[in-house]
Structure 1
Amino acid sequence: MAKLAYGTTQDYTPNPADLDTLLGHVRSQLDIWYGHTILNVEELAAMYKDGKKCEIPLLYLTGYQSFEFTPEQRGALREYLLDGGTLLGDATLGSPDFTKSFRAEIAAIFPQRKLDVLQLDHPIYRGYYPYQNVNYFTITDGVHSKVESPPQFLGLNLAARTAVILSPYDMTCGWDEFYAPPAPRIGNAKPVPTMAMLPVDAIRMGINLLTYVSAERTFAKTQAYTLKVEGNQPQQRAALQFGLLRHQGDWNPDSNSIYQLIRFAALRTSIPVAYDMKSVDAEVEQIAETPLLIMTGMDEPQLNEKELAVLQRHLQAGGFLFINNTSGFAKFDREARALIARLLPDYSLQSVSADHNLYHSLYDIQELRRAGGGQAGPPDLEAVFIGERAAIVYSPTDTLGMMKGVHDPYANTYDADSSQRLALNVLCYAMQQ
């Protein structure tokens, strides 16, 4: 990993021994040796300008002052993250200036994505040490106080992994094995409160972070490449157009898998597939010619009332919606079920029976196997039926995540063969309606 040097006057390394001490704990507890260095953000920008890539898995950005990147530096960080890298931000002393600048820079780099609170089922909170609560402390006007609460990390997802992580509470002092001191007074301004994680929790959470980044590395690098979509030439009759439905949450967390679904549909079926992914809003003009809609996400799939009404009419008129829980997170599961209830309030979401055509439209599926050598078991699709037709099919287990053959090691997903067979069955069923 590398500590990112930035700015001209900013203190980018307020605790010079933080990484050395943290990695010492990693060596003693995990028996894994990681190295660290310092990389200037200007070096990173020059590297990408020359067509080179940064192969350091994790860049670490810390400090307590405000900062601003140049357009070239933002472009290099964007390419680094899209190429499988991870960026970790830590607000020294809980500095609001650093947090504000970090959030502003990430918003400028990825304006269509959201830096949001990580939910408690996120693998960062269970990568090595399981956490539901951590110990924080604050110093306000010289008064110390402690509180136990859920971890307060923010994250931004790229290609079904959390590529940007921010801790608004100081961990760097804890990594250096001391309690964060009161924030310094600047001029006549009243010092801001110190907000920090207790050293023992900071060290353990740091180990969790490194475990997560290490475990995700192969998956992250694979996600950086999308295999060419190719197959038999489409037949003369009209080709199928996939519509990836935009919503107000993280609507496109794993476009790689959608492309692979298209590729497998072309290679393994006689379905005339349009070799492209069309992103659509829930508007009549956009979905009228797109009978097959796919919705994915990792947080909240929200639609406004107008979008709900349009999509409801589309489904009642014969349209089909497949909802896939990318990575199988609990928050998306909860919010997807609530959305389905609002979409078709007169119908209920129910388990799909073993003899239903969804499990026999192309392959006869009796059982599916979980990724990572998991045991085989019955599939768990759920559906909303309008008459005999499944208008909405929901998969609480990530059905698309292994379409490319490599999966997020923390995800609740099927293995490659199971994913491909089930996804193609859903696709064939939709085309038969």
Structure 2
Amino acid sequence: MKKLTSLETGTGGRVLRMAIVLSVAVGLATFAMAQQQKKTRRLGTCGPPPRKNPQRQTSAEGFPPLPLPVTPLRRSEPKAEPAPPLMMAKLEYGTTQDWNTDPGDVDNLMRHCRYELGLWYGWRHLSIQEVVANHKADKKTKIPILYISGHEMFGFNPEERAALRRYILDGGTLLGDACCGREEFRRSFMGEVSRMFPDRAFDNLELDHPIFRAYHKYTNVHYRKFEEGVQHDFQGPPQLLGMNIGCRTAVILTPWDMSCGWDEHVHPHGSRLLPGDAIRLGINIISYVAGLRQLGEVQAVTRELQAPIRRSRQRFQMAQLKHDGDWNPDPNSTQQWLRHLAVDSSLAVHFDLKGVEATPERLVNYPFVYMTGHRNPRLGNSETVSLRSHLQAGGFLFINNCCGRSAFDQHVRSLAGTLFPQQKLEKISGDHPLLRSFYKVAGVRDRQSGGQRPLELWGVTLGKRLVLVYSPHDMITHLKQVSDPYGNGYDAESCRRLAVNVVAYALQN
């Protein structure tokens, strides 16, 4: 038997033995925890957990207790900060952890919003079942953004789909992120949105979309993509896909990973935005949704008006042209237009707005045709011929660029050239009869600043009659007093006068 030394039998020995036992215990505990995490680790997690808020302590906690019978002086302790308003909920869906691929992404993005915007927004996890329960109880899910992220394919059941559709129509925004740029998630997300809204387009957002200038102005971002293990870094225009409800983009998808960027880490695989651009573009999305929140709630209610029953004379009926470029983005504003016609003039108005296709049998009963949208209307050759014949026979077409988008502007100008290749789309002069057909319009005001701005209307003239009038700046959506805060149109009073004058001119000529 080994003889114990004085060091091992004394106080130092006891400390040494205790240290060895403690080290072994810690090692065993760490190994067990690692094994347990390995067993319970589920699909998808690729980022660290959210950072913890710093623990507060009062000044008294730093001192030892006072000896009795001394009584400490009373003082008021600082109150905890109130909870911030919720901006985003991270949607818990499916049966795996794939919904939470980056546990700290939203938390970190909210911190950056507080630092850069000076606005403190909160977030939370939200189960898809809670959204379904709200829908069944006819209650609104009032969180502005529902955020979905993941790697793998997924699908919603009919109840979940119906609840999310109702949430979007009620003014909410659905935001999707293909973590690590995974194609499986992108295809699933787009497929689910198409099932919710089969008649709406889900397209790339144009570079002049307000999201790309809501706070930071963006024309290029930094991408990183791995192909067969080789890293490629490059710059290009930002790529987001969106679907519109009215004048707001209510569904947004980033096919390039931004969640890892919000969490400020990257991986040697996948396709992503680098963290700086991901964070700044995320702040833009938050700013865009916050700015359009009121508009979304107003557009959630379509106001239908009715004319008095006792009115025997013939009533004016407006037709709105159907096409593939989001033909009816804001029905509320069109109803307000009809209301102004009835109230401001002696015109008997039929408030049942008709959506019509560009065919001879559908156009023949409607002398006044209204057209608006966001994207390329994609009218076919037969539709163009029918519309030209209708205008040559005495019809009138008014086109309004809803939200003033450049893509719609380009396609409308091209359409005008196709309709009447022998006539030019020309700017309407300030002394044209249209500007005094009912109201005398000497000037207009800007919607954002309230100051005077130039009026810009374009038209095509056959003989001495305007048959087509085009406004490249929105003059209809603000008739309901609430509109896209990023739009470039005229103020409500200018819109009202111009809208009434356009109809009055068409009926007089």
* Common fold: TM-score over 0.5: yes
Larger Rg: 2
Equivalent-residue separation in structure 2 for 1:233 and 1:369 (angstroms): 37
* Equivalences for residues 60-139 of structure 1 within 5 A: 60-139=147-226
Answer whether contact 1:137 1:146 (CA < 8 A) is retained.
yes
**8-17 or 276-285, larger mean C-alpha shift:** 8-17
**Which residue of structure 2 aligns with residue 190 of structure 1?**
none
Answer whether contact 2:202 2:242 (CA < 8 A) is retained.
yes
2:94 is paired with a residue of what secondary structure? coil
Question: What TM-score do the two structures reach when normalised by structure 1?
Answer: 0.95
**Which residue of structure 2 aligns with residue 282 of structure 1?**
358
* Cα distance per residue 1:172-217 (max 9 Å; x no partner): 00000011442xxxxxxxxxxx110000000000000001001111
* Cα distance per residue 1:235-291 (max 9 Å; x no partner): 322211111101121111112211111121122211111111100000111111011
Q: Percent identity?
A: 46
**Which residue of structure 2 aligns with residue 187 of structure 1?**
none
Equivalent-residue separation in structure 1 for 2:116 and 2:235 (angstroms): 25
Equivalent-residue separation in structure 2 for 1:377 and 1:124 (angstroms): 25
Match for residue 451 of structure 2 among 375, 391, 396? 375
Answer whether contact 1:153 1:166 (CA < 8 A) is retained.
yes
| AA aligned opposite 2:149 | T
2:217 is paired with a residue of what secondary structure? coil
CA positional deviation for 1:430: 1.2
* Equivalences for residues 131-210 of structure 1 within 5 A: 131-182=218-269, 194-210=270-286
2:437 is paired with a residue of what secondary structure? coil
1:12 and 2:88 are equivalent in the alignment: no
**125-134 or 258-267, larger mean C-alpha shift:** 258-267
**Which residue of structure 2 aligns with residue 398 of structure 1?**
474
1:324 and 2:324 are equivalent in the alignment: no
**Which residue of structure 2 aligns with residue 313 of structure 1?**
389
| AA aligned opposite 2:353 | M
2:201 is paired with a residue of what secondary structure? coil
Equivalent-residue separation in structure 1 for 2:281 and 2:489 (angstroms): 25
1:311 is paired with a residue of what secondary structure? helix
Equivalent-residue separation in structure 2 for 1:235 and 1:386 (angstroms): 34
Equivalent-residue separation in structure 2 for 1:132 and 1:385 (angstroms): 38
Cα RMSD for the two superposed structures: 1.2
**Which residue of structure 2 aligns with residue 246 of structure 1?**
322
1:30 and 2:120 are equivalent in the alignment: no
| AA aligned opposite 1:178 | H
1:264 and 2:351 are equivalent in the alignment: no
CA positional deviation for 1:233: 5.1
Equivalent-residue separation in structure 1 for 2:370 and 2:403 (angstroms): 15
Equivalent-residue separation in structure 2 for 1:162 and 1:87 (angstroms): 9
| AA aligned opposite 1:257 | S
Equivalent-residue separation in structure 2 for 1:167 and 1:72 (angstroms): 25
Equivalent-residue separation in structure 2 for 1:355 and 1:411 (angstroms): 27
Equivalent-residue separation in structure 2 for 1:45 and 1:266 (angstroms): 42
Match for residue 40 of structure 1 among 127, 149, 163? 127
1:223 and 2:302 are equivalent in the alignment: no
| AA aligned opposite 1:101 | S
1:384 and 2:471 are equivalent in the alignment: no
CA positional deviation for 1:23: 0.7
CA positional deviation for 1:234: 6.7
**Which residue of structure 2 aligns with residue 186 of structure 1?**
none
| AA aligned opposite 1:212 | Y
| AA aligned opposite 2:260 | C
CA positional deviation for 1:346: 1.3
CA positional deviation for 1:140: 1.9
Answer whether contact 1:261 1:420 (CA < 8 A) is retained.
yes
Equivalent-residue separation in structure 1 for 2:344 and 2:161 (angstroms): 41
Aligned length in residues: 422
| AA aligned opposite 2:398 | F
Higher relative contact order (CA 8 A, sep 6+): 1
Match for residue 442 of structure 2 among 348, 354, 366? 366
CA positional deviation for 1:56: 0.5
1:308 is paired with a residue of what secondary structure? helix
Equivalent-residue separation in structure 2 for 1:155 and 1:63 (angstroms): 18
Equivalent-residue separation in structure 1 for 2:457 and 2:400 (angstroms): 10
**Which residue of structure 1 aligns with residue 71 of structure 2?**
none
Answer whether contact 1:159 1:256 (CA < 8 A) is retained.
no
| AA aligned opposite 2:446 | R
Answer whether contact 2:307 2:350 (CA < 8 A) is retained.
no
Question: What TM-score do the two structures reach when normalised by structure 2?
Answer: 0.81
Answer whether contact 1:137 1:145 (CA < 8 A) is retained.
yes
